[in-house]
Chain A
């Protein structure tokens, strides 16, 4: 254990790297249905003022029980939901106010890997179309054959054979589909990937493979991850910094070694105590 020698909350390598993403007092509201002509006056607020930073090549773990707002934070960062208040900045540029085509340069840099590998791939498209689609948008100069060969490279990089290109998603297992989803996210050569419970729907043996794959890819492509999970063991294994979320607020932020050894917050202690030990 060398963690005691580290006084800074982040490992040295990450400490020096530039800040990619800054989230400041982010709040997200969903209207409750009802009201005249769908104009609702009541809201739920799954995220209530959350602030954190992600540096280049860093992995930030986001843990919390279900309903704590983890996924909503991830969706707000990739702008699948719009923030109600607060700011999201990417390399000092505000992206929470952008929309439509002006978001496109940002979408090239920040991608997402989804929880459910069965729903996240369009059943009607071949793998080459699924992986090639981001290339079509963000590298319009590529010709069709170039896109195809790029897609084949990406598949090989995530551990799938290039002859999968002309097959359909239903011909693959859950773990393989998650690899395809990772290849799609990698296609645009992003800097940050939001991983929304990427291994929760997979078998334990496959989980380890995917986590190792993500770590290898991080080295090779200099990626930063926001790793959202309810699985404390996985988060401990992969993260440089862990954020503990409870009812839409971050209650503790610490490197995993410190957090697991000496949790400061009552909720963190409960969460750690709830982990079944084998």
Chain B
């Protein structure tokens, strides 16, 4: 018998012991830390415009006697957004300069940023967009939305799936029929259509925070049915196990049996399902925002930033830095899938995807 099934203490050690697991956890840890400390790491706010510098390319670095510095650029041809570095002109990078005020973790009032240059000069690590906003800063603020939406969404949908599927599997009867027919109904409607219909059914005059919540709710509403079906199946097979009969004979109430005997045995599945489903939420948010019905300007999210990169101009003039949110989505989704696969390998050796 696999010891992990019976003892959970060593689970994360086992994941880290595998190269894929360590890589995935490391990447995700890095990304979530970046999102958490976004206001500190970003030199500018997500809405700070500079209409003099649209489509500014990523700034180059150089050494001066004052230390690390960035080159300064002049706008050679505003019609094509052609920038040329000005020879000999640089701006020294300052560490922890005072900038626009913000609240770290939403609580601590703070003015310092990790790095910056003397205004009115600007540092664009990943260039600027059509209104001269810093893509790097927006990427960090966008990570807050894009990365948290997966965690919140999966908590809601797995929570609902666990309650609906668990009760359906344990008690059976009419409740079981009701839950299963509902999930079938949800699954029979094409996902993207349902997404658009639900979003359209709610008024568009929501604020940015409300839209964020609305998207989470819509995505969870679509996502719980799959989880509920699997959890129902697992509960059915667990319910037939003798130790559940023993618990009934002992006199435990159904709720106690569900909580103490079934839930711990479902935990490993839930963990794997969560890791493998989070990318769906990140991609779902990106899709909604890309279509213009998700996160609204001036807030930032990766999908919204990609939506701005779909203009023909971006491809004609090769503003490749505007595609960096796509790379961020790709890395995040790949890391979550890698983590999910590794967790599954550790928890359930029967479903190994590879030999190692």
* Known contacts A80-B248, A104-B251, A120 near B242 by CB under 8 Å: yes
* Known contacts A37-B177, A114-B245, A120-B242, A137 near B250 by CB under 8 Å: yes
Closest CB of chain B to A245's CB: distance in Å? 21
User: Quick one: which of B5, B241, B249, B252 has the most chain A CB within 10 A?
Assistant: B249
Name the residue of chain B whose CB is nearest to the CB of A80: B245
Within the assembled complex, what's the spacing in Å between the Cα atoms of A181 and B242? 11
Which secondary structure dominates where chain B touches chain A? helix
Q: List 7 A-B contacts (CB under 8 A).
A: A107-B249, A107-B251, A122-B265, A124-B265, A125-B264, A138-B251, A168-B6
Within the assembled complex, what's the spacing in Å between the Cα atoms of A41 and B248? 28
Q: Does any Cβ of A come within 8 Å of B253's Cβ?
A: yes
B1 x A123 contact (CB < 8 A): yes
Q: Does any Cβ of A come within 8 Å of B247's Cβ?
A: yes
* Residues 103 to 123 of chain A near chain B (Cβ within 8 Å): 103-104, 107-108, 111-112, 114-116, 119-123
Closest CB of chain B to A258's CB: distance in Å? 33
Contact with B along A134-161 (1 / 0, CB 8 A): 1001100000000000000000000000
B6 x A101 contact (CB < 8 A): no
Selected contact of A120 from candidates B1, B5, B243, CB within 8 Å: B243
B3 x A101 contact (CB < 8 A): no
Nearest 5 A/B pairs, CB to CB? A107-B251, A120-B242, A124-B264, A119-B242, A122-B243
A107 x B250 contact (CB < 8 A): yes
Which residues of chain A have C-beta atoms less than 8 A from B260's C-beta? 125, 133
A170 x B246 contact (CB < 8 A): no
User: Quick one: which of B6, B241, B243 has the most chain A CB within 10 A?
Assistant: B243
Name the residue of chain B whose CB is nearest to the CB of A115: B242
Q: Does any Cβ of A come within 8 Å of B261's Cβ?
A: yes
Within the assembled complex, what's the spacing in Å between the Cα atoms of A33 and B288? 44
Contact with B along A211-242 (1 / 0, CB 8 A): 00000000000000000000000000000000
Beyond the given A122-B265, A133-B260, please list 12 additional residue pairs across the A-B interface where CB-CB is below 8 A: A80-B249, A111-B250, A120-B243, A122-B261, A123-B5, A124-B6, A124-B264, A133-B252, A134-B250, A137-B250, A168-B6, A184-B246
Interface residues of A (CB under 8 A from B): 37-38, 75, 78, 80, 101, 103-104, 107-108, 111-112, 114-116, 119-125, 133-134, 137-138, 168-170, 181, 184, 188
Name the residue of chain A whose CB is nearest to the CB of B174: A37
Closest CB of chain B to A196's CB: distance in Å? 9
Within the assembled complex, what's the spacing in Å between the Cα atoms of A103 and B251? 8
B7 x A168 contact (CB < 8 A): yes
Within the assembled complex, what's the spacing in Å between the Cα atoms of A273 and B56? 96
Closest CB of chain A to B303's CB: distance in Å? 40
Closest CB of chain A to B156's CB: distance in Å? 25
Contact with A along B252-267 (1 / 0, CB 8 A): 1100000011001100
Which residues of chain A have C-beta atoms less than 8 A from B5's C-beta? 123, 170
Which residues of chain B have C-beta atoms less than 8 A from A111's C-beta? 249-250
Within the assembled complex, what's the spacing in Å between the Cα atoms of A108 and B3? 33
Selected contact of B243 from candidates A78, A101, A119, CB within 8 Å: A119
Within the assembled complex, what's the spacing in Å between the Cα atoms of A103 and B249? 10
B251 x A108 contact (CB < 8 A): yes
* Residues 43 to 78 of chain B near chain A (Cβ within 8 Å): none
Within the assembled complex, what's the spacing in Å between the Cα atoms of A80 and B1? 28
Within the assembled complex, what's the spacing in Å between the Cα atoms of A169 and B5? 11
Contact with A along B207-247 (1 / 0, CB 8 A): 00000000000000000000000000000000001110111
Which residues of chain A have C-beta atoms less than 8 A from B1's C-beta? 123, 170
User: Quick one: which of B177, B251, B253, B264 has the most chain A CB within 10 A?
Assistant: B251
Selected contact of A114 from candidates B7, B246, B261, CB within 8 Å: B246
Within the assembled complex, what's the spacing in Å between the Cα atoms of A16 and B1? 49
Within the assembled complex, what's the spacing in Å between the Cα atoms of A238 and B245? 25
Selected contact of B6 from candidates A120, A169, A188, CB within 8 Å: A169
A184 x B7 contact (CB < 8 A): no
User: Quick one: which of A38, A80, A123 has the most chain B CB within 10 A?
Assistant: A123
User: Quick one: which of B177, B245, B246, B260 has the most chain A CB within 10 A?
Assistant: B246
Name the residue of chain A whose CB is nearest to the CB of B250: A134
A170 x B243 contact (CB < 8 A): no
Which residues of chain A have C-beta atoms less than 8 A from B242's C-beta? 114-116, 119-120
Closest CB of chain A to B71's CB: distance in Å? 61
Which residues of chain B have C-beta atoms less than 8 A from A169's C-beta? 6
Within the assembled complex, what's the spacing in Å between the Cα atoms of A125 and B261? 8
A78 x B6 contact (CB < 8 A): no
* Known contacts A37-B177, A123-B1, A78 near B251 by CB under 8 Å: no
